[in-house]
Structure 1
Amino acid sequence: MLLMEKVALLNRQNETFALAMIIESKGSTPRHVGKMIVYRDGSIEGTVGGGLAEHYIIQESVKAIQVGKSKIVEYKLNKHAKDGIQMNCGGTLRVFIEVYTSRPELVLAGAGHLAQALSRLADSLEYPYCIVDDRIGYATKERFPNATDLFINEDIGVAMLAANLNEKSYVIIVTKDRDDIVLKTALQFPIAYVGMVASKRKTITIFEKLKNEGVTEDQLEQVHSPIGLEIGAETTGEIAISIIGEIIKLTKETKPTKVKQLTS
């Protein structure tokens, strides 16, 4: 597989990585053109010339991935030059490090009207999403044509377990009457975010129930409820916008903190 084909594949798979590309080369350098994929652990595919310069570029790429920002780096390949690195080539090398960050993977727990509105926004933002519900007639491909998966089970907790929740998962709970089960199940995994559409009274009731079942206060403090940005949302579409807006805000401000898992 060609390197740029691999980049396209990784992007479709919603992976996080960096692509380092030589954008300018002056004088004597190991290579004048080159591309290299760098993963979060520092492993690579391709090359920008090898040697010490490539080693530094890998380090800078990993740092760029960690902060989620692309950048340009420049190296003087001359150990005698001011700010030069320990190489004898003598030329200069400029490299663009483009960071590909994974998009939030939405887990819409509940397949009602709000979930449909959320799915349409997810489509426009190219956010992958799956549907979890206990009702066969609601969680369908006709209603959610672009869902990556539909997880349906009469026991919605079993359906949630099948959703393979991970550190990219943003769980939005909009069930008919199974919020407590979904929330408790979600907290068993190192998810990025969990939010629940519920009134203040309903939230208190669910939290008290879960605390009696072993969920800690520390766990529950990480749950976003009420969910969404304060924009005075009233309609289903407006509420969906406020929820997606909150997720966008969190992903732009800082890397999401994994929800702490249940210990039992």
Structure 2
Amino acid sequence: MLLMEKVAMLTRQNETFALAMIIESKGSTPSHVGKMIVYRDGTIEGTVGGGLAEHYIIEESVKAIQKGQSKIVEYKLNKHAKDGIQMNCGGTLRVFIEVYTSRPELVLAGAGHLGYALAKLADFLEYPYCVVDDRIGYCTKERFPNASNLFVNEDIGEAMLEANLNEKSYVVIVTKDRDEIALKMALQFPIAYVGMVASKRKVINIFEKLKSEGVTQEQLEQVHSPIGLGIGSETTEEIAISIIGEIIKLSREKKPIKVKQLNR
């Protein structure tokens, strides 16, 4: 597989990685052209010439991934030059490190009006999403033609389980009346975000119920409820915008929820 084909595949798979590419080479260098995929753990595919320069480029690529920011780095491959690195080539190398960050993967627990509005925004932003519900008539391909998956089960907890939640999952709970079950299931996984639409009283009641079932206070503190940014939203569409806005903001911070496994 060609390297750029692999880049396209990783992008389709919504992976996070960096592509380091030589954009300028002067004098004697290990390579005048080259591309290299760098993963979060520092493993690579391809090369920009090898040696100490490549080692430094890998380090800078990992840092760029962690910050989520692309950058240009330059090296003097001359150990005798000011700011040079311990190489004898004598040339200079400029490399563009382009960071590809994964997009939030939305799990819309609830296929009603708000879930539908959230799906429309996800379509616009090209965010991957799946829909979970316990109602066959609502969770359909006709209503959500661009959803990656639809999970329907009379037991919404089972439907949530089928969604294979992971560290990329941003769970938005907007069910008709199954918030408690959906939330308990979501908190079993190391998800990136969980938010729930509910009144203050309802949140208190749900939290007390879940604590009696073994959910810890630390876990519940990760739940965003009230959900969304405080922008004075009132309509369904405005609420959806506030929720997506909150997800965009938090996805940039990259702080996954830390939870322990619960017994089902």
* 8 A Cα contact 1:174 1:197, kept in partner: yes
Cα distance in structure 2, aligned partners of 1:263 and 1:188: 6
In structure 1, stretches of 5+ residues that fail to align are none
Tell me the residue number matched to 1:172: 172
Residue 260 of structure 1 deviates from its aligned partner by 1.8
SS at match of 1:124: helix
- Provide the rounded CA distance (Å) in 1 between the counterparts of 2:129 and 2:90: 50
d(CA) in 2 for partners of 1:217 and 1:262?
14
SS in 2 for 1:11: helix
Aligned match of 1:82: 82
Whether the aligned pair in 1 keeps the contact of 2:214 and 2:262 (CA below 8 Å) is no
Deviation at 1:153, TM superposition (A): 0.8
2:47 aligned residue: 47
| Aligned residue number for residue 255 of structure 1 | 254
In the alignment, the residues of structure 1 paired with residue 256 and residue 141 of structure 2 have an alpha-carbon distance, to the nearest angstrom, of 32
User: Is the aligned partner of 1:130 residue 2:130?
Assistant: yes
Give the residue type in structure 2 aligned to 1:162.
E
- 2:113 and 2:5 mapped to 1: Cα distance? 38
Deviation at 1:256, TM superposition (A): 2.5
Deviation at 1:261, TM superposition (A): 2.8
| 3-state SS in 1 of match to 2:223 | coil
Q: How does 1:89-100 map to 2 (within 5 A)?
A: 89-100=89-100
Q: Structure 2-normalised TM-score?
A: 0.98
Match of 1:242 in 2: 242
CA distance in 1, matches of 2:11, 2:38: 13
SS in 2 for 1:150: strand
Matched, 1:67 2:52: no
Give yes or no for contact 1:229–1:242 (8 Å, CA) kept in 2: yes
Q: Distance in 2 between matches of 1:33 and 1:122?
A: 38
CA contact (8 A) 1:215 1:262 kept: no
- State the 1:183 CA deviation: 0.3
Greater displacement, 77-86 / 175-184: 77-86
TM-score by length of 1: 0.98
Aligned 8 A contact 1:111 1:139 in 2? yes
Q: Which 5+ residue runs of structure 2 have no aligned equivalent?
A: none
**Contact 1:134–1:156 under 8 Å retained in 2:** yes
Instruction: Work out the CA distance in 2 between the residues paired with 1:127 and 1:139.
Output: 18
Instruction: Give identity over the alignment, percent.
Output: 84
Q: Which AA in structure 1 matches 2:255?
A: P
In the comparison of the two structures, how many residue pairs are matched?
Answer: 263
CA distance in 2, matches of 1:136, 1:107: 17
Q: Give the Å deviation of 1:197.
A: 0.4
**Secondary structure of the equivalent of 2:146?**
coil
The runs of at least 4 aligned residues of structure 1 exceeding 6 Å deviation read: none
- SS of 2:114 mapped into structure 1: helix
Q: Retained in 2: the 8 A contact 1:193–1:259?
A: no
Deviations 1:174-224 (CA, angstroms, capped at 9, x unpaired) = 001100000000000000000000011111111111011111111111100
| Per-residue deviation, residues 12-40 of structure 1 (Å, max 9, x unmatched) | 11000000010111111111111100011
Q: Distance in 1 between matches of 2:27 and 2:239?
A: 57
Question: What does the per-residue CA deviation read over 1:55-107, in whole Å, with 9 as the maximum and x for residues that have no partner?
Answer: 11111111111111111111111111111111111000010101001000000
- Contact kept, 8 Å, 2:190 with 2:256, in 1: the verdict is no
Equivalent residue, structure 2, for 1:104: 104
User: Which residue pairs with 1:36 in the alignment?
Assistant: 36
Q: Distance in 2 between matches of 1:116 and 1:263?
A: 30
